[in-house]
Amino acid sequence: MAHSDACLKCTICIAACPVYRKDGEFPGPKALGPEWHRRHLAGTGDLMDHVDDCTFCQLCEGACPVGVPVAHLIAEHKAAALPKQTWPMRVRDTVLTHPEWVARAPVLTRATALVPISRWLKLSTRSQRPSVRKAPRLSRSSRRAAVGGGRPRVALFVDCFDRGFDTEAMLAAQALMEVFGFEVHQVPRTSQCCGAAAYASGRVAQARRQAGAMEQAIRGELRGDEVALITLNATCQGTIGEEWSKFLGLNDLPVPVIPFHVFALQHAPAGFWSTVAAANVDPGSWTWTHTTCRGRRRGDGALFQLARRAGMDQVEPLDLECCGAAGSYAFKAEHAETAHDIGQPAAAQIHGRPGVIWVDSGTCAVHLEQLAGRTARHPAYWLWQAWLTSQSASATPPAPAGHGEPRDGGS
Amino acid sequence: MRVVVVGQGPAGLLTADWAHRLGAEVFVAAAADGSLALWSGAWDFRSFADSGEVVRDPWQWWDLHGRQRGVAWNREDWVRWWTRWRDTWSAAGIPLAAGAELPSHNRWTPTAVGRLRPVFVCPAWQWAADEPEPVIWVGLEGLADTPIALASARYHALTGMTATGVCLPRPDAWVPHWSGLAWSVYVDSEPGRQWLTEALTRALRDHAGTSPVLMPQMLGQDGCETLIGQLEAALGRPVREYALLPPAVGGIRIRDRWKRALKRRGVTWVSGTVGAVRKEGVQFRDTGELLPADAVVLATGGILGGGLWLSAAGELFNTGTGEMVPWSGRMEDLARAGIGTEGPAYRAVGRVVGGFDSDRDGDSGAVNLYTVASAMEALFGERTAGEGWQHSEEGP
Amino acid sequence: MVVVVGAGATGLGVAWDLSLRGIAVTVIEQGDIAHGTSGRFHGLLHSGARYAVRDPDAARECIEENRILRRIAAGAIESVGGYFVKTPASPDDYGARWLAAMDAVGIPVEPVSREALRTAVPELHPDVKGGYWVPDGVIHGFPLLFRLQKAIEARGGRVQHHTRLVEVAVDHGSVCRVRVSSASGSEWIACDALVNAAGPWAGKVSELFDDPLTMRLSRGLMIIFAERKTAHVVNRLAPPGDGDILVPHDRVTIWGTTDEPTASPAADPPQRSETQKLLSLGRDLFPSMEQWRALRAFSGVRPLYQPESAADPRHITRDFTVIDHGRRGGPAGVVSVVGGKWVTFRLMAEKAADAVTAYLGLGATSATAETPLPPLPTPGEDARTPWLCECEQVGERDLAAWPGATLAEWRTRTWFSMGPCQGTFCLHRVANRRIAATNLAALDAEEVALREEREQGMQGALWGDNAREWALSQAVRRQTLGERT
């Protein structure tokens, strides 16, 4: 792996690790990643305890000043430790690393609410299971996007979580982008996984297979004229946009891969923002934004800007680098406590104030909602709600968004 | 005005903070976490003269020698900008040690191995004193970075003052890989706080007097002020920390508080390696994406920070622009190499500027302050004089 | 009593050989064990393939000793195998000549396809044209020498390091005693014979008695990379030249080497210009080599010897020479052993010991080829102490296995400070374990010396991320630890 040898021993990765900063048993990214790997290459890399406690949030990797693929070296370490897993854990991880199966039959997760099943599978009995939020049919009239043909096209990536549990968010994103003046089609048609879950669990070969199949599917469904592939889940975004080419041996897709909220900031016309902002949704209420750990590989603050641009009354970022959910991490019994501890500061920060949470990942939303006791949804959902409010409030709909309008550069 | 700051070490965060206070929309573009987590957070302004002698009054030193080094400030300039910097930290919740409100001279802070080094500005949790005095030097069993045998012997040899070495036995929860940061995590927990209070009380029972207790820097991640207060109440003595090697909990506290404050004010972070700076903005190396900007400030650091890159062929590069940086090629000149404060499409601040040997001379705090303030004056002109300066926590 | 000068592989080998023959020995070493060439080589356990064409005698000795060392020094040998790789620049006719020579010498060789080669060594240049497998290996020199030392001492021999030979006394034409000097003063040691195994200093030593040797010293440069970049030794299939071998050595990789005449037995530290040149020679074998994380560079001095003059040191034989000075007009009872290779140290020692026993009129023969070296005692398991050196995983128990050692001695015996951070994060921790046995001033001096030694090596390979490591080291030293030197 490129730059695996670059480690300066500076410990910046340790200072960025949310698990290290909560769990005293955890040896930290430097020891589990580059230091283990260096010994491993020399044939003396004994497997270390607690390697599975890594959330694969990749904050270590983002923090590393010399580009060591710290988290991906830890994933190699996890892969080497797979044979040590017990059978129930293997069964459990087989399911958890195939979210595309779960997405096809989300009701199955209810079975795990039965405590004996959870116990046997080493599933957390503490973590809330996601509830299924199937969208009511979006009213066509509310979209207001009746612009003529020739509109630019985007592809909307349907991730496993949203396919299975939150078609509301997905359709909200689609409707919004139509309001922005784009033609939207969803990919892939069938439920598939980009490989993120398997990679996080150290199933690197499986991740490669899943990613390869997904890439074929997306390439087959792209029409060639899309300006972007839009994602609603920061983890899938990172996997497709970065890991596929860097770590899973795939070629970059022929379109840029962009998170929905970044796309919205760049492409929603000024009229959209002024309309939404004028609606003044839920005054006096707080909007907490949380960019998930994997989202932070792109940066932090765009969600905050989105909420402000949409005119939310009081916006505050959650003081969390990672909420602890980390995909299926929090659903594993052995991680339940760490996942809880990592996310706990959110509850202290919110502390009795009314409001909602905007977060760019479905599983994080479930986790944060449980921890903080506030509704947590994808920003596309909230933005759509604000748009609907603005539409019902205003007698005359705003002029349709034209693609040719200058972008609102911010400020 | 949109300002893109490249880098998030101390110079980068200070630039981001001040540009935001002066009304800009601020983006921080960074390829990695900044260097704050490596150092305890004590800032030196000028610790040693060229001759190697200790400098007592850094402001006087700059008065006498600043002009030769391209620093034209007089004492009033230093004090004005220094005060802004202190207010900035204070607003972010980073407290300075008593006596550091407007320091007039360097004080001493002990290092983990018992040496003393001059320090001008010290966070409240760290020990610094005008003159060495007898101390209780606490180490932790199982924390290899607290070499108390060595440290107490050396402190005594250097100062003539006793350093009573006290080693706290490890708690049950301890595991061998615990760094100072992991110890902090432990004492942040209720059992950890109890253990520490009891262990310290027991260890000091037989030591009369009120000499200060020097603890390794592990007194909690974020709640250190509370814990220090509780320990002082329990022990009846001052309790302060001495700095450890990275991961440096003091710097981590500063980083966390500062970035939290900036994020709440609406500063936006964009990850990526900047490979080119143009009039219209910065371009990321891997994606080719352009982040538009009206002004770009490079705070990319020196060799360590990655702002300068020494190639195998012995050429030095500005990583922010890919341009070659002239230097003599001699090792002894490497520490002073840099790109200057101004390029065709950017301003530069901090270590990347060059011209100083901050590790040797102990002047990184002054270099950061001077270069960042100069960038602010260049970008915001008159507004920096006071009118446009926002001290509220609300952004523009 | 036989005095042996030099505690490198050859000197300790001679002392071990004589000990096994029942002869009392004292080894005198000016520095620490492996102070000279034995501690400054690329770690290759030659198969002999490198010398097959030009120096078949040396090649034959290499392959024979290669097999013996695997038997007697298990644990200090990595049987990784090596490849000789054809690049577009390899001379067309060299392969055939080399194969014929390999056959004549009797070194096993197997052809390897380009594809198989690229699978075995993925970092290789895509243009390599295939190659051959040979039984190259890797020697862990320091542990092997410490095993020799312990084995000698277990048989009653003495190894006095930091002790210099200053005078050789001859009585009626035969050596009778030597004067040695160390920090604790000088003393005379009576001896029946003297073995000069001082490597590059053999010429200097020979000036102390009346039969000077003319050494042909040759300096070679090596670069250490921080990670094990290849699982096997990689050689360039071409006549011996600069930059033709890459050796995986435990957790690091060593790229070498160069060959230039030198007058100085002390290996002059590498200059950046030299290492840059050596690095650039790797491009056609390993295109990414300039991006590999360099750790340090070092040089070693080959103690070559050839009675007749020869211009190019690479043309001087890699074979060794045992000189019985009494037979050529010098003092009787003095034997010098010069030239040779690390891998043939046992054979060199055997022949030198043969000369000594012949002089002493004893019938004993060498047993070193059949006697396995006892392993070093392994430190007890104690998972409840922290690592002091995290890069190389050195803990308190590892230091405790060498009580009374200085920082420098602990470095080569425990390997602390040898990893990517080069002591930045561990030196003060180890120093704290040393303070009980010394005083602060002496410890400060040891620390400074070790820092300088580490930094000198880093500066020889100061580019890319290693330059950043160096800057980190400077900042930690000066700012965090408050060092002023």
- Tens of pLDDT, residue by residue over A155-189, are 999 999 999 999 999 999 999 999 999 999 999 99
Average pLDDT, chain A: 90
Instruction: Mutate one of B271, B273, B304, B310 to test the A interface: name it (highest A CB count within 10 A).
Output: B271
- CA of A262: which chain B residue's CA is closest? B270
Query: How would residue A399 be classed by pLDDT, with cut points 50, 70 and 90?
Result: very low
Domain contains B120: no
pLDDT of residue A397 exceeding 70, the answer is: no
pLDDT of residue B21 exceeding 60, the answer is: yes
**φ, ψ for residue B275, nearest 5 deg:** -115, -10
pLDDT of residue B58 exceeding 70, the answer is: yes
Domain contains B111: no
Nearest-angstrom CA–CA distance, A82 and A94: 12
- The verdict on B147 and B68 lying in the same domain is no
- The verdict on B273 and B389 lying in the same domain is yes
Query: Over pLDDT 90: what percentage of chain A?
Result: 79
Nearest-angstrom CA–CA distance, A288 and A304: 8
Count how many residues are written for chain C. 485
Nearest-angstrom CA–CA distance, B126 and B120: 12
Q: With helix as H, strand as E and coil as C, how does A142-174 read? A: HHCCCCCCCCCEEEEECCHHHHHHEHHHHHHHH
- The verdict on B288 and B268 lying in the same domain is yes
pLDDT of residue A401 exceeding 50, the answer is: no
Q: What is the pLDDT of residue A181?
A: 96
Which C positions 416-455 lie with beta carbon below 8 A of chain B? 425, 428-429, 431-432, 435-436, 440, 443
C160 vs B387, residue with greater confidence? C160
Task: Dump pLDDT digits (tens) for A184-228.
Answer: 999 999 999 999 999 999 999 999 999 999 999 999 999 999 999
Q: What is the ipTM of this complex?
A: 0.97
pLDDT of residue A403 exceeding 50, the answer is: no
The domain boundary residue, chosen from B201, B226, B242? B242
Q: Is A104:A53 a contact under the CB 8 Å cutoff?
A: no
Which amino acid is residue C451, in one-letter code? R
For residue C138, the tally of other CB atoms under 10 A from its CB is 23
Query: How would residue C315 be classed by pLDDT, with cut points 50, 70 and 90?
Result: low
Which amino acid is residue B216, in one-letter code? P
Could you tell me the residue ranges of all domains in chain A?
4-84, 87-121, 140-267, 270-390
Q: What is the pLDDT of residue C74?
A: 92
CATH of the domain at B30: 3.50.50.60
Tokens describing residue A294? 């994997």
pLDDT of residue C42 exceeding 70, the answer is: yes
**What fold characterizes domain A140-267?**
Rossmann fold (3.40.50)
Q: Is C246:C253 a contact under the CB 8 Å cutoff?
A: yes
Q: What is the pLDDT of residue A408?
A: 38
The Cα of A95 is separated from the nearest Cα of chain B by a number of Å equal to 33
Which residues touch B356 (CB under 8 Å, ≥6 apart)? Answer: B69, B336, B363, B364, B367
Q: What is the pLDDT of residue A144?
A: 47
- The verdict on B95 and B213 lying in the same domain is no
Instruction: State the helix-helix crossing angle for B148-159 and C427-434, rounded to 10 degrees.
Output: 80
Task: Dump pLDDT digits (tens) for B272-307.
Answer: 999 999 999 999 998 899 999 999 999 999 999 999
Strands (E) located in C115-272: 131-134, 137-139, 158-160, 163-171, 174-182, 185-190, 193-196, 215-225, 233-236, 245-249, 252-256, 260-261
Tokens describing residue A289? 């934004």
Q: What is the pLDDT of residue A115?
A: 79
Asked whether the CA dihedral A301, A303, A304, A310 is positive or negative, the reply is: positive
Domain contains B180: yes
Given CB atoms, is C286 within the 8 Å cutoff of chain B?
no
pLDDT of residue B377 exceeding 50, the answer is: yes
A109 vs B265, residue with greater confidence? B265
Q: What is the pLDDT of residue C37?
A: 96
Q: Which chains touch B (3 or more CB pairs under 8 A)?
A: A, C
Of B112, B208, B213, which is closest to residue B166 (Cα–Cα)?
Answer: B213
CATH of the domain at B151: 3.40.50
The kind and range of the H/E element at B317 are strand B316-318
Q: Is B46:B62 a contact under the CB 8 Å cutoff?
A: yes
- The verdict on B202 and B287 lying in the same domain is no
Q: Is C322:C335 a contact under the CB 8 Å cutoff?
A: yes
For chain B, the C-alpha Rg in angstroms (whole number) is 22
Task: Dump pLDDT digits (tens) for C56-86.
Answer: 999 999 999 999 999 999 999 999 999 999 9
Nearest-angstrom CA–CA distance, C20 and C353: 10
Query: How would residue A137 be classed by pLDDT, with cut points 50, 70 and 90?
Result: low
Print the domain residue range for B18: 1-99+246-396
* CB-CB neighbors (< 8 A) of B111 in chain C: 480-482
Lowest mean pLDDT among A111-115, B55-59, B134-138: A111-115
Q: What is the pLDDT of residue A149?
A: 65
Nearest-angstrom CA–CA distance, A59 and A34: 15
* CB-CB neighbors (< 8 A) of B331 in chain C: 272, 459, 462
Task: Dump pLDDT digits (tens) for C388-410.
Answer: 999 999 999 999 999 999 999 99
Which residues touch B264 (CB under 8 Å, ≥6 apart)? Answer: A316, A317, B393
The Cα of B223 is separated from the nearest Cα of chain C by a number of Å equal to 23
- The verdict on B277 and B395 lying in the same domain is yes
- Which SS3 state, helix, strand or coil, does residue A259 take? strand
Q: Is B186:A24 a contact under the CB 8 Å cutoff?
A: yes
Given CB atoms, is C279 within the 8 Å cutoff of chain B?
yes
**Residue A372 CA to its chain's centroid (Å):** 18
- Judge whether A4-84 and A140-267 match in fold: no
Measured CA to CA in angstroms, residue B227 lies from A12, B122, B193, B196, B240 at distances of 25, 18, 8, 10, 11
Count how many residues are written for chain B. 396
Mean pLDDT to the nearest integer, C20-28: 98
The domain boundary residue, chosen from B219, B242, B265? B242
Domain contains B268: yes
For residue A172, the tally of other CB atoms under 10 A from its CB is 26
Mean pLDDT to the nearest integer, C380-387: 79
Measured CA to CA in angstroms, residue C162 lies from C79, C402, C415 at distances of 34, 17, 20
- The verdict on B309 and B338 lying in the same domain is yes
Nearest-angstrom CA–CA distance, A346 and C374: 60
Domain contains B181: yes
Mean pLDDT to the nearest integer, B346-362: 96
Residue C36, classified by CB atoms within 10 Å of its CB into exposed (0-12), middle (13-18) or buried (19+), is buried
SS3 content of chain A, % helix, strand, coil (to 5): 50, 10, 40
Nearest-angstrom CA–CA distance, A82 and B10: 42
Task: Using DSSP bridges, classify how beta strands A183-187 and A153-157 pair: parallel, antiparallel or unpaired.
Answer: parallel
Measured CA to CA in angstroms, residue A122 lies from A90, A104, A324, B67 at distances of 10, 23, 18, 68
Which B positions 161-180 lie with beta carbon below 8 A of chain C? 176-178
Mean pLDDT to the nearest integer, C293-312: 83
Domain contains B113: no
Distance linking the first and last C-alpha atoms of chain B: 11
H helix runs in B307-392, sequence order: 331-334, 358-361, 364-380
Residue C239, classified by CB atoms within 10 Å of its CB into exposed (0-12), middle (13-18) or buried (19+), is middle
The kind and range of the H/E element at B35 are none
Q: What is the pLDDT of residue C221?
A: 98
Which residues touch C378 (CB under 8 Å, ≥6 apart)? Answer: none
Tokens describing residue A97? 């690393």
Nearest-angstrom CA–CA distance, A316 and A313: 10
Task: Dump pLDDT digits (tens) for C118-159.
Answer: 999 999 999 999 999 999 999 999 999 999 999 999 999 999
Q: Which chains touch C (3 or more CB pairs under 8 A)?
A: A, B
Of B345, B338, B326, which is closest to residue B274 (Cα–Cα)?
Answer: B345
- The verdict on B148 and B52 lying in the same domain is no
Nearest-angstrom CA–CA distance, A99 and A159: 9
For tokens 């000198």, the residue is: C456
Q: What is the pLDDT of residue A2?
A: 87
* CB-CB neighbors (< 8 A) of A31 in chain B: 177
pLDDT of residue B122 exceeding 80, the answer is: yes
Contact C468 B304 (CB under 8 A): yes
Q: Is B138:B213 a contact under the CB 8 Å cutoff?
A: yes
- The verdict on B191 and B267 lying in the same domain is no
pLDDT of residue B19 exceeding 70, the answer is: yes
Contact B33 A319 (CB under 8 A): no
Is the preceding peptide bond at C331 cis, omega within 30 degrees of 0? no
Q: What is the pLDDT of residue C314?
A: 57
What pTM did the predictor assign? 0.95
Nearest-angstrom CA–CA distance, A246 and A243: 5
Nearest-angstrom CA–CA distance, A215 and A194: 8
Tokens describing residue C133? 């497998």
**For the domain A4-84, what is the CATH code?**
1.10.1060.10
Instruction: Mutate one of A51, A60, A411 to test the B interface: name it (highest B CB count within 10 A).
Output: A411
Task: Using DSSP bridges, classify how beta strands C252-256 and C215-225 pair: parallel, antiparallel or unpaired.
Answer: antiparallel
pLDDT of residue C283 exceeding 60, the answer is: yes
Of C365, C345, C344, C367, which is closest to residue C354 (Cα–Cα)?
Answer: C365
Domain contains B166: yes
- The verdict on B166 and B184 lying in the same domain is yes
Contact C225 A5 (CB under 8 A): yes
Query: Over pLDDT 70: what percentage of chain B?
Result: 97
Nearest-angstrom CA–CA distance, C434 and C185: 24
Task: Dump pLDDT digits (tens) for C208-266.
Answer: 998 999 999 999 999 999 999 999 999 999 999 999 999 999 999 999 999 999 999 99
Which amino acid is residue A329, in one-letter code? Y
pLDDT of residue B395 exceeding 80, the answer is: no
Q: Is A14:A28 a contact under the CB 8 Å cutoff?
A: yes
Query: How would residue C312 be classed by pLDDT, with cut points 50, 70 and 90?
Result: low
Nearest-angstrom CA–CA distance, C15 and C3: 8
Q: Which chains touch A (3 or more CB pairs under 8 A)?
A: B, C
Average pLDDT, chain B: 94
Residue C327, classified by CB atoms within 10 Å of its CB into exposed (0-12), middle (13-18) or buried (19+), is exposed
Instruction: Please count the structural domains in chain B.
Output: 2
Query: How would residue B77 be classed by pLDDT, with cut points 50, 70 and 90?
Result: very high
- The verdict on B376 and B348 lying in the same domain is yes
Q: Which residue of C272, C273, C480 is in closest CB contact with B245? A: C480
Exposure class string for B284-322: b at 16+ Cβ within 10 A, else e: beeeeeebebebbbbbbbbbbbbbbbbebeeebbbbbbe
The domain boundary residue, chosen from B242, B258, B292? B242
- The verdict on B256 and B393 lying in the same domain is yes
